[in-house]
Amino acid sequence: MSDAKQLLTQLFKNNNINVPANRMNLFDKFLQDEQNIAAINTINQNQDWLMTKWKLQDRIAEIMQQPVRILNASVGKSYEAKFDFEKFGWKDITAYEFEGLEEAGLLYDEKTKQITGNPTQSGDIKIVFKFKLEAQPEDAPLNEKIITLIINPDPKSLWKNLESDKNDPYWKEDDVSVFAPIGDRHILVSSKRGRAHANVGSFREDDFAFKYLENGWSIVVVGDGAGSAKISRKGSALACNSVVDYFMEKSSVENMKEFDEFLQQHKTNPDEDTLKKLNHFVYNHLGKAVFYVHKQLEEFTTKEGFPLKDLNSTLVFTLFKKYDIGYALLSFGVGDCPMAVLNKNVSKIINLNWIDVGEFGGGTRFITMPEIFKNEKFPTRFNFKLIDDFSYLILMSDGIYDPKFVVEANLPNIKTWQKFLEDLGGKNEDRIKVELRVDNKDIVEQLSRWMDFWSIGNHDDRTLAIVF
Amino acid sequence: MRRLPVYLLLDTSGSMTGEPIEAVKNGVQVMISSLRQNPQAIETAFISIITFDSVAKQVIPLTDLASFQMVDIKATGTTCLGEGLKLVSTCIDNEVAKTTAEQKGDWKPLVFIMTDGIPTDDWQSGLEEFKKRKTAYTVACAAGSGADSNLLKQITENVVSLDTADSQSIAKFFSWVSASIGVTSTKVEDAGKEVTGLSELPPPPSELNIVV
């Protein structure tokens, strides 16, 4: 059957017109009529035209609905994302343009099939992808497909830096950095309010104190006020200063002489007995100091009418003195602030305390907790070390420990400390260098800048004290 | 870095067709955009979406907010909540890092469940699995009158309900979820402390009834 005959038969059938056998001759003749042939051709053409047009529109709709995902971008981070027509199955696209890419700081590179650039503004950007298919006539307008590109804000820009309230009765400076001589050494210390606090205009809760005492001893103290305690900023300040006050008192200055004697005995007789005496002295004398601090905090809260836990703060301190046989270091620690001393050529690390790292949910301990004094572990919070010489004595709050040491297992490892010193020496992302030299006039500024290092998820207050 | 894993366990059964499912998709989008503006959340919160209908599927694995892209979800089939609970349990096992001596693990995960119906599968066996996993908190939302908040109470003590599963109520639920994730991420970063229950979360809007 010819195409024409088939078409017409179908057409007639659709319209319930039956061509009986006795009309077949007539039907064949009908099909050969010139006018009729022309009409059939027109029908054919129209059908083709309609089908082509439908296919085209269907294809455009298909592309429009096709989910196109492109990687999210971030402000300030160079962006690179594949936008490959072939992968999307868009071989039939003959012309295209992007609208909105340039405004977002991006460009499409046909050769590499990539969208690249440095996004400048965050938000859900609507990019208009205009395209034409090969089946479309040349003068047809471009089709428009909206593609959403998510541009994240630069996390750094989201942090606000709001000043803390200076009229607050327990206000303290947001950032403090100091360089000073201490005994026969120097101390460089910086204590900075964390971004988490700056973001909401709250206070620095860390604190520190140091002092050269008249009897040849020097003391360095660091305290970290608990985030969950209302006026822990005062707690840490009071705790740090009370320790220094205690050791400055005449009676304790006097008492320390006993240590000189014990050390002398130990020097002539370096046996267990003399060492025991020394350790005993440390436990007794420093124990009194710690109890004094606890009492000071208690008195303060009684006077002010607060519960003691409002002052919750960790407390670590080290006393050191140079003798002819080397340095004596006496220390105490409660909480999660590590203290350590490095030998002269930085090949050995001595941890001066163990740190209270709780399980999930605030397991650390504070100087305000009466139970620490009764706990069987209390004596282990004290330490006595005698070393020939040292390069650095370092005390830090968890704001430094968390990003730089991460886990306890790293604390006894000399390599982590060497890395830490290299970091201070400029081996860091921002190439900020702290030159630990006494004659370095910019030393305070250098450490202060170093302290601002960026570490994702670590925005606590930071305190770092280095004696060298 | 310690991540704060957040699992959204969403009912995509047939009854969610239309307005509710659209509202859920929209709610997630808005939630993500608003969390992206929170400096603590964008650094710590990682979101995963698990849907449950006749089967349970993790449609988005645990993903940081910056790379998160919502996928299309469709409502169809029955309500296999038990399968969903089982799946979230295995996802927690596979995706949430535990703390060891050498590494700091992730924070305990947050789980938000939303359903508009009664489970059609053996949900108790799923619950048994789920109970073995430690979460900081789990919040279940009974959306509309078809859900059984007493049943959800057996999954978690933190149950909220919406009178109707309309787009406004669902939007409110997600904006509260968003605020809760925000508060939790601030708490873990700032105080190093985890939030453990409803009482520490922002007060829910009036559309959300706390089921006691």
In a domain, B113, yes or no: no
| A80, A223: one domain | no
Interface test with A, best of B73, B108, B189 (most A CBs within 10 A): B189
Residue A319 tokens, joined: 């006393």
Residue B117 tokens, joined: 């119906």
Domain count, chain A: 3
Residue A360, pLDDT score: 44
| A323, A422: one domain | yes
Residue A270 tokens, joined: 């370096």
Contact: A153, B36; criterion CB under 8 Å: yes
Q: CB atoms < 10 A from the CB of B205, how many?
A: 13
| A292, A418: one domain | yes
- B33 CB neighbours in chain A (<8 A) are 124
Q: What are A64-121's pLDDT values in tens digits?
A: 999 998 999 999 899 999 999 999 999 999 999 999 999 999 999 999 999 999 998 9
In a domain, B14, yes or no: yes
| A418, A441: one domain | yes
What letter does residue A209 receive in the DSSP assignment? E
d(Cα B207, Cα B212) in Å, to the nearest integer? Answer: 16
- Minimum Cα–Cα distance from A124: chain B residue: B33
Contact: B2, A457; criterion CB under 8 Å: yes
Contact: B66, A124; criterion CB under 8 Å: no
What letter does residue A100 receive in the DSSP assignment? S
Residue A229 tokens, joined: 């305690």
Beta pairing, strands B158-162 & B137-143: parallel
Residue A106 tokens, joined: 């991006």
In a domain, A239, yes or no: yes
In a domain, A170, yes or no: no
* Cα three-residue angle B168-B36-B134, rounded to 5 degrees: 85
- SS3 call for A67: coil
**Element of type H or E holding A264:** helix A250-268
| A364, A422: one domain | yes
- Look at residues A253, A383, A364 and name the one whose alpha carbon lies nearest to residue A313: A364
ipTM value of the model? 0.85
Residue B193, pLDDT score: 67
Q: Please report the sign of the dihedral spanned by the C-alpha atoms of residue A280, residue A284, residue A290, residue A291.
A: positive
Residue A17 tokens, joined: 């017109």
| A144, A251: one domain | no
In a domain, B117, yes or no: no
In a domain, A162, yes or no: no
Whether the Cβ atoms of residue A188 and residue A465 lie closer than 8 Å to each other: yes
d(Cα A195, Cα A455) in Å, to the nearest integer? Answer: 11
The CATH code of the domain that includes A242 is 3.60.40.10
How many residues are present in chain A? 468
Residue A361, pLDDT score: 40
Domain with A243 in it? 175-467
Strand order in the sheet with A349-351: A175-182, A185-192, A462-467, A390-396, A339-343, A349-351
- B103 CB neighbours in chain A (<8 A) are 406-407
In a domain, A164, yes or no: no
Of the three residues A41, A65, A89, the one that is the final residue of a domain is: A65
Residue A369 tokens, joined: 């907790």
**Element of type H or E holding A129:** strand A123-133
Residues 6+ apart with CB under 8 A from B190: A194, A196, A197, A227, A459, A460, B40
**Element of type H or E holding A349:** strand A349-351
| A271, A327: one domain | yes
pLDDT band at B102 (very low <50, low <70, confident <90, very high): confident
Q: CB atoms < 10 A from the CB of A3, how many?
A: 9
Contact: B193, A362; criterion CB under 8 Å: yes
The CATH code of the domain that includes A121 is 2.60.40.10
pLDDT band at B186 (very low <50, low <70, confident <90, very high): confident
In a domain, A159, yes or no: no
Residue A371, pLDDT score: 92
d(Cα B43, Cα A174) in Å, to the nearest integer? Answer: 23
| A412, A451: one domain | yes
Q: Which of residues 21-80 of B touch A (CB under 8 A)?
A: 33, 36-40, 42-44, 65-69, 72
Whether the Cβ atoms of residue A70 and residue A100 lie closer than 8 Å to each other: no
Residue B195, pLDDT score: 75
User: Which of the residue ranges A126-140, A305-319, B82-96, B188-202 would you say has the lowest mean pLDDT?
Assistant: B188-202
The CATH code of the domain that includes B80 is 3.40.50.410
Q: Measure A460 CA to nearest chain B CA, in Å.
A: 6
Task: Among A67, A195, A362, select the one facing B192 at the smallest CB separation.
Answer: A362
Residue A438, pLDDT score: 96
| A91, A185: one domain | no
| A30, A142: one domain | no
d(Cα A164, Cα A171) in Å, to the nearest integer? Answer: 8
- What's the Cα-to-Cα distance from A64 to each of A242, A247, B35, B108, B124, rounded to whole Å? 71, 77, 29, 41, 44
Whether the Cβ atoms of residue A364 and residue A356 lie closer than 8 Å to each other: yes
Residue A248 tokens, joined: 């400055």
| A221, A93: one domain | no
What letter does residue B209 receive in the DSSP assignment? E
| A290, A419: one domain | yes
Contact: B189, A124; criterion CB under 8 Å: no
Round the average pLDDT of chain A to a whole number and report it. 94
| pTM reported for the whole predicted model | 0.83
Q: What are A204-258's pLDDT values in tens digits?
A: 999 999 999 988 999 999 999 988 888 999 999 999 999 999 999 999 998 999 9
- B191 CB neighbours in chain A (<8 A) are 226-228, 362
pLDDT < 70 positions in chain A: 1, 358-363
Q: Which of residues 123-162 of B touch A (CB under 8 A)?
A: none
Domain with B154 in it? 4-108+122-211
**Element of type H or E holding B28:** helix B19-35
Of the three residues A65, A94, A115, the one that is the final residue of a domain is: A65
- Look at residues A285, A318, A339 and name the one whose alpha carbon lies nearest to residue A185: A318
Domain count, chain B: 1
User: In this complex, how many residue pairs, one in chain A and one in chain B, have their CB atoms less than 8 Å apart?
Assistant: 76
Rama region for A44: left / alpha / beta (φ>0; ψ in -120 to 50; rest): alpha
- Minimum Cα–Cα distance from B70: chain A residue: A69
- SS3 call for B200: helix
What letter does residue A22 receive in the DSSP assignment? G
In a domain, B116, yes or no: no
Residue B192, pLDDT score: 65
Whether the Cβ atoms of residue A150 and residue A73 lie closer than 8 Å to each other: yes
In a domain, A190, yes or no: yes
User: Which of the residue ranges B29-38, B44-53, B138-147, B179-188 would you say has the lowest mean pLDDT?
Assistant: B179-188
- Look at residues B40, B48, B87 and name the one whose alpha carbon lies nearest to residue B69: B48
- Minimum Cα–Cα distance from B1: chain A residue: A457
Of the three residues A154, A186, A213, the one that is the final residue of a domain is: A154
Interface test with A, best of B26, B31, B40 (most A CBs within 10 A): B40
Contact: B103, A152; criterion CB under 8 Å: no
Residues forming a β-bridge with A350: A341
Whether the Cβ atoms of residue B144 and residue B165 lie closer than 8 Å to each other: yes
What letter does residue B39 receive in the DSSP assignment? H
Residues forming a β-bridge with B158: B139
Contact: B68, A72; criterion CB under 8 Å: yes
In a domain, B101, yes or no: yes
Residue B199, pLDDT score: 80
Q: Is B206 on the interface with A (CB under 8 A)?
A: no
Whether the Cβ atoms of residue A172 and residue A207 lie closer than 8 Å to each other: yes
Task: Among A71, A364, A407, select the one facing B103 at the smallest CB separation.
Answer: A407
In a domain, A160, yes or no: no
- B68 CB neighbours in chain A (<8 A) are 72
Task: Among B66, B103, B107, select the one facing A72 at the smallest CB separation.
Answer: B66
DSSP code string of A145-166: EEEEEEEEPPHHHH---PPP-T
Strand order in the sheet with A382-387: A206-212, A218-225, A313-323, A326-334, A382-387
User: If you search the block for the tokens 């050498």, which residue do you land on?
Assistant: B102
- Minimum Cα–Cα distance from A461: chain B residue: B190
In a domain, A163, yes or no: no
Q: Is A347 on the interface with B (CB under 8 A)?
A: no
